[in-house]
Amino acid sequence: IQLTQSPSSLSASVGDRVTITCRASQGISSYLAWYQQQPGKVPKLLIYRASTLQSGVPSRFSGSGSGTDFSLTISSMQPEDFGTYYCQHLDGYPLFGPGTKVDI
């Protein structure tokens, strides 16, 4: 199984709605997580089981999808949301997507 993310990078403004897609090379279970990594920081869990918001994560983050196509949406970009986002599949050998860099 391979994970691809699109776009690989994007520029956004504060207040924008941003959607990042994670596509699997074959159908996968919903054990799909999303992480945010700000520059120089440790990855932070945002979403697990494809659509469940991790405790303490702002509600502007949401996840959806099933099968081969999953997405992470930020409803209104905030200054602290800029960074790189990774999807990860955990059913089987853990596998990360290549990342999507979100900058201003």
Partner 1 sequence: EVQLVESGGGLAKPGGSLRLSCTASGFTFSSYSMNWVRQSPGKGLEWVSSISSSSRYIYYADSLKGRFIISRDNANNSVNLQMNSLRAGDTALYYCVKSWGYEAFDAWGQGTMVTVSS
Which stretches of the chain bind partner 1, using CB under 8 A? 31, 33, 35, 37, 42-43, 45, 48-49, 54, 84, 86, 88, 90-91, 93-99
Terminal alpha carbon distance of the chain: 32
**E strands, 49-92, in order:** 52-53, 61-74, 83-89
- Please, which residue, 15 or 42, has the CB nearer to partner 1? 42
Peptide bond into 7 cis (omega under 30): yes
Of 16 and 57, CB closest to partner 1: 57
Smallest distance from partner 1 to CB 46, Å: 9
